[in-house]
Amino acid sequence: MKKKLQILIIVSIIVFLSLSIIQYSLIKNTFNLEQKIFKSEIEKIMTKINKAKSLENFEERWKRKFSFYSEKYQIGKFSKEEYLDSLYQFTTKENKVFVKLFDQEKKKINLDYDIDFQMKPTLLIFIHPEKKDSIWFPEKFHIGNSFIAKNALIVNNSIWKVETSSDETDIENNKVSYELFTADYVKIKNKTWIIFQRMSFTFFFSILLFILICSLFFYTVKSMIKQKDLLLLKTDFINNIIHEFKTPLATLKIASKSLRNKKIVTNEILLENTLTTIERQNIRLEKLLNQIVEISPNNQIKLQFEKVEMSNFLKEIYQDFQLSCSQKEINFLENISDEKVNCSIDKVHLTIAIQNLLDNAIKYSKDEIKVEVNSYVKDNFYHIKIKDSGIGISSKKQKEIFKKFYRVASGNIHNVKGLGLGLFYTKQIIEQHHGEIFVKSELGKGTVFNIKLPIENEK
């Protein structure tokens, strides 16, 4: 069973990881697709804006001036530094006009997001029969908004080819030819967020599905582990019942056979002892059955509350228990408070609950048995502490001991008698009294149970 469960969990984890990878790939591919669609949309918008009459006129004017400076450089009237400096000053001045015109055209489209545009000249190549010359433009050269181009979206790469005539040039056929390489960049504020908004349905559906799969996975694994524990608990409980019923049934069998013996029947003392044994074992069987029936989910324990003075009540329980264990070598210690306080309790059920804790103190003790009962009043609560010097309970098992049918000695180990119902019953009774029960224990050093009951205030 354990091996099958481990294999099932491993397979489930593999399937879960595979689904996670598929979900991640789906989201990533959807994002990339939406990014391409968005880029195509931006390109169409930029084409529409750039075709506006005002921007076309600006472009034509800028190109004429660019050609003018380029011809001057080609015929040697400008050095490369003078050419770049003159071109930069002109471009910087005209850029203010371009940004204003671009913003005007952008407003006409009524976009849901903000766009910054930048046209960046990168390389200029002069072509003539004798030699070629090229100029790389510095990073500061641009027309449009100022931003770092490498973080923006490239919407267009173009080559502007020019061939002009000049009366001033000495070049053959009076031709000046050059090619200008440019790149158009667009920066959209919150671009990633815009794309995520557009794929929000797919994204949130995928996340929801992923969370659902995670929940189902953990719920399934948890259920499988719980079912395994319940199966082990059921097996353990059945084994405990068989063990607990075996002793009285075996005793009854022997006693029944004894009644067929004439020597026993004719002997009043032996007959009385045999009948007493049968009666005692019947009572034991009846208690075992009643304990199981009372704890069943269909039977709610009904309490009869009454106002009881706690000091005398606890002393009576302690003295009766001490008397019942008089044949055993037990070191009893008692420090029960003499302070007179009243609590609303069911005497019968609370007595059984406290006796269960005292019984456990004896059952789980080592060779030297030591039981200590203390009580005190604090913060309007009556505290009852039962301490033993037994084998102790590990921190892990302390969380389990109040569960139905749970026994620290589990499986087929029956060195300690019981059905695993005592502490469950005790906890139920204490809680129905609106109280609390706590356990503090350390392996090999004993256990302390602390019962906390509300005090009935005098009116």
Q: Give the pLDDT of residue 458.
A: 65
Report the DSSP pairing between strands 132-136 and 369-378: unpaired
Burial of residue 121 (CB within 10 Å: 0-12, 13-18, 19+) is: buried
Kindly state the tokens that stand for 119.
């046209």
For 394, other C-beta atoms within 10 Å of its C-beta total: 12
184, pLDDT greater than 50 = yes
- At 284, which amino acid appears? R
* CA pair distance 372, 356, nearest whole angstrom: 14
Kindly state the tokens that stand for 145.
């908004």
Going by pLDDT thresholds of 50, 70 and 90, the confidence category of residue 291 is: low
Q: Which fold has domain 200-295?
A: Helix Hairpins (1.10.287)
416, pLDDT greater than 70 = no
Report the DSSP pairing between strands 342-345 and 381-388: unpaired
Report the DSSP pairing between strands 369-378 and 330-335: parallel
- Report the DSSP beta bridge partners of residue 350: none
Q: What share of the chain is helix, strand, coil (3-state, %, to 5)?
A: 55, 20, 25
**pLDDT tens for each residue of 298-348:** 455 677 899 999 999 999 888 877 777 766 678 888 899 988 899 999 888
Of 127-131, 265-269, 390-394, give the lowest mean pLDDT range. 127-131
What is the 8-class DSSP label of residue 215?
Answer: H
**pLDDT tens for each residue of 108-150:** 888 888 889 999 998 988 876 666 788 898 888 889 988 888 7
451, pLDDT greater than 50 = yes
Q: Strands, DSSP E only, in 189-295?
A: none
418, pLDDT greater than 60 = no
Going by pLDDT thresholds of 50, 70 and 90, the confidence category of residue 194 is: confident
Q: Give the pLDDT of residue 241.
A: 63
The answer to whether the CB of 333 falls within 8 A of the CB of 294 is: no
442, pLDDT greater than 60 = yes
**CATH superfamily ID and name for 306-454:** Histidine kinase-like ATPase, C-terminal domain (3.30.565.10)
- At 272, which amino acid appears? E
CA atoms within 13 A on the CB side of 116: 15
Q: What percent of the chain has pLDDT over 90?
A: 12
Kindly state the tokens that stand for 316.
């009576």
**pLDDT tens for each residue of 393-405:** 887 777 778 776 6
295, pLDDT greater than 60 = no
Cα–chain center distance at 91: 58
* CA pair distance 303, 397, nearest whole angstrom: 29
- Domain residue ranges of the chain, discontinuous segments joined by +: 2-198, 200-295, 306-454
The residue behind tokens 């072509």 is 127
171, pLDDT greater than 70 = no
Q: Give the pLDDT of residue 455.
A: 92
Q: Give the pLDDT of residue 237.
A: 60
Task: Out of 103-107, 124-128, 150-154, 420-424, give the one with best mean pLDDT.
Answer: 103-107
356, pLDDT greater than 80 = yes
414, pLDDT greater than 50 = no
pTM equals: 0.46
Going by pLDDT thresholds of 50, 70 and 90, the confidence category of residue 288 is: low
- At 12, which amino acid appears? S
- Report the DSSP beta bridge partners of residue 459: none
* CA pair distance 99, 115, nearest whole angstrom: 12
Q: Give the pLDDT of residue 405.
A: 61
Phi, psi of 108 (to 5 degrees): -65, -25
Q: Give the pLDDT of residue 301.
A: 65
